[in-house]
Amino acid sequence: MTVSIYNTKSGKKEPFSPLEKDHIKLYVCGITAYDYCHIGHARSTLVFDMIVRYLRYRGFKVTYIRNFTDIDDKIIKRAQEQHTTTEELANRFIKAFREDMESLGNEPPTLEPKATENIPEIIAMIQELIVKGFAYEVQGDVYFKVNRFANYGSLSGRNLEDMLAGARISINEQKQNPMDFALWKASKPGEPVWDSPWGAGRPGWHIECSAMSRKFLGDTFDIHGGGKDLIFPHHENEIAQSEASSGKPFVATWIHHGFVTIKDEKMSKSLGNFLTIREILEKYPAEALRFFVFSTHYRTPLDFSETAMKEAETGLDRLYTCLAEIAKLPAHGNPHQTPAAGKKNASKINSLVGRFVKAMDNDFNSAQALGHIFEVVKVLNTIRQSLPATPAESDLELLHASAKSIRELAGIMGLLQQDPVAYIKDKQEKTMSLLDIDQTAIESLISDRKIARTQKNWTRADEIRDILLKHQIEIKDEADGTTSWQVKI
């Protein structure tokens, strides 16, 4: 099987083959470090964390670069508002970002370079563009000549003439063309500056990614990713800068994930309708957020709501409950006992890995892959619930092996990474603390129910079951009576 990836530039799924055998080079645009990250940032980091994990699972070596923009108009403005330096502000939020990534359970990239650590490389690339006639300097500012790059608009599908028709030149604008964009910005009072051939100043936003990706991955590499909002102008401008500078193709495959929305409106800081990662993790486990994100294909818009998060947590609990119940079973059984699992069920379980891989090979379809896991969990629950007092050896082997396989596959999405028994116990204890009934009352009701069942007073027995359910307590009945109860989580 071959991994197929939807390439934004071609607008279709393409069989993926790395430029260097078994080694994938990936660059993802990181945060502009001036504030705490919201769930939109979480989706981006989770999507590429999942993609990198899966590609490594499939046997590839992956070099994963994700940058930090630590000098930018927004950073300068926020630093001035807070009466601090841009360096202090950026480092503070880079630290906060890394704490958020650890809380989410993301694996760190291979490298996380900062723009300010790569000023010499940025200046060198700008110089190349000037020498080759793709850039020009005006009073300390340097701009890229958009109309000199023939393929401008190839990623976004925009036509330069149409863009020019809608553009407006502001007062005192020095550009030769309204679509030209800044590679270097001349210094202004109170701003951090670096020396350059054009005077003191700082880099533009787009050039930093071109310079850093070239430094760490080369002129041409396999995959570049980010949110759909980066397609234009950021990634379009990266292509123009990089290809004009090197004369080589920049990126083989472009991956862009969909937006996170609230009531179908894009979540963003500018609109003020966002929740930070920290705010969400105060209410929900990190794996519940991961489950919510991966229950939808990465290219599809993801609409956030409390209902959706609760449903994600419930789904996660279902998986953990199944694994916890299997973990409680003995390791060995009776080799002479007739198996409870039939050939059809065993076949469905044993085909899980193949079906999971097929889904993920199809443009990282995590939603479909999760669906296959749930199908198998349903079968495992059926088998487990039908086990006799002394289970067959083959049934126990199948259940334990399946649980191990499910955890390995779910781990590609960063799910089911906790001990299942401990997870369920902790969840029930937390839920129990919020209930309006205590353990003594529960045990008393169950005792009354046992008496009712002995007396064949089924109406009273059902009445007590309903009372317990209203208090979020589920009971388990077997032939010899009520054997256990648990908090409904």
Tens-binned pLDDT, residue by residue, of the chain (489 aa): 799 999 999 999 999 999 999 999 999 999 999 999 999 999 999 999 999 999 999 999 999 999 999 999 999 999 999 999 999 999 999 999 999 999 999 999 999 999 999 999 999 999 999 999 999 999 999 999 999 999 999 999 998 887 776 655 554 468 999 999 999 999 999 899 999 999 999 999 999 999 999 999 999 999 999 999 999 999 999 999 999 999 999 999 999 999 998 877 766 666 767 789 999 999 999 999 999 999 999 999 999 999 999 999 999 999 999 999 999 999 999 999 988 888 888 899 999 999 999 999 999 999 999 999 999 999 999 999 999 989 999 999 999 999 999 999 999 999 999 999 999 999 888 777 766 777 777 778 888 888 878 878 788 888 888 888 877 778 877 655 655 677 766
User: Nearest-CA neighbor of 211 among 111, 112, 123, 94?
Assistant: 123
On the CB side of 146, CA atoms within 13 Å amount to: 20
0.85 cut: is pTM over it?
yes
- DSSP summary character for residue 114: B
Residue 65 · residue 213 · CB < 8 Å: yes
On the question of a cis peptide bond just before residue 120, with omega within 30 degrees of 0, the verdict is no
Domains of the chain from N-terminus onward:
4-283 (3.40.50.620), 305-423 (1.20.120.640), 435-487 (no CATH)
* Residue showing tokens 């080079």: 25
Task: Give the whole-angstrom CA distance, residue 349 versus residue 326.
Answer: 14
Task: Give the whole-angstrom CA distance, residue 432 versus residue 489.
Answer: 10
* Residue showing tokens 């880079």: 94
- Coil vs helix vs strand at 474: strand
The residues that bridge with 475 in the sheet, in sequence order, are 485
Task: Give the whole-angstrom CA distance, residue 8 versus residue 239.
Answer: 13
Residue 205 phi, psi (nearest 5): -70, -45
- Coil vs helix vs strand at 262: strand
Task: Give the whole-angstrom CA distance, residue 381 versus residue 387.
Answer: 10
Task: Give the whole-angstrom CA distance, residue 224 versus residue 24.
Answer: 11
